[in-house]
Amino acid sequence: MKSVIIYSTKHGTTKKVAEMISQMAKEKPELINLKKVKDINLDDYDSIIIGGSIHAGNVQTRIKRFCHDHMLELSTKPLGLFLSCMEEDKAQEQFDNAYPESLRKAAVSTKLTGGEILLDKMNFLERYIVKKVGKMTETVSNIKEDKVKELVNEMGLT
C-alpha cells in the first residue's frame, strides 16, 4: 500500500510530526511539502495523510486550498488529518475550522498532535506577539507522540 503525507509548515513543527509518522510506519510514506510541490497526482497513492499548523488562529492557506481543490479524491481513499497547535483549549475548534466537515467525517483518523513555540524560528513580530500576548519567553515543545502513534495505527501503517 503506497501512502503519502502532504503537509505545510511554517517553523518546522508539522514537518517534524510528518517525519515522526513516517518513522513509525512499517512502509515509509512519501512526504510532500506543499511549499515545494504544487502538482500532486493523488491516484498514485492508496492512503493520504494531510497535516497543517495553526498560526494566528488559522491553518496555512495551502492546506485549505489543497483540501478544497481535491475534496472528491480525498473522500474516496483512506484519509488521515492532523493539526499541530499549542492552544489545547482552542485546538478542536481550530481543527474544525482548518478542515472541511465532509473531510473530517470521511477521515479514518483525525488527530490534534500538539505543537511547539520555536522562538528562534520566528521573525521579530511573531516573537514580540508570542512574548507579549502568550507570555512565552522560551522555546516550548508539546508534540503528543501518543496521538501520532494513534494516527499511524488507525491509518493501518504499522
The predicted pLDDT at position 158 comes to: 86
Query: CB-based contacts of 43: which residues, under 8 Å, 6+ apart?
Result: 73
pTM over 0.75: yes
The predicted pLDDT at position 91 comes to: 86
The predicted pLDDT at position 45 comes to: 96
Closest CA to 82 of 158, 146, 1: 146
The predicted pLDDT at position 7 comes to: 96
Indicate the residue type of 59.
V
Question: Residue 144 CB: number of other CB atoms within 10 A?
Answer: 17
The predicted pLDDT at position 1 comes to: 73
Q: Cell numbers 511573531 label which residue? A: 126
Low-confidence spans in the chain with pLDDT less than 50 = none
The predicted pLDDT at position 89 comes to: 80
> In whole angstroms, what is the distance from residue 89 CA to residue 31 CA?
29
The predicted pLDDT at position 103 comes to: 96
The predicted pLDDT at position 127 comes to: 62
> In whole angstroms, what is the distance from residue 113 CA to residue 75 CA?
22
> In whole angstroms, what is the distance from residue 20 CA to residue 29 CA?
11
The predicted pLDDT at position 131 comes to: 59
Query: CB-based contacts of 140: which residues, under 8 Å, 6+ apart?
Result: 86, 116, 117
The predicted pLDDT at position 144 comes to: 92
DSSP state of 100: -
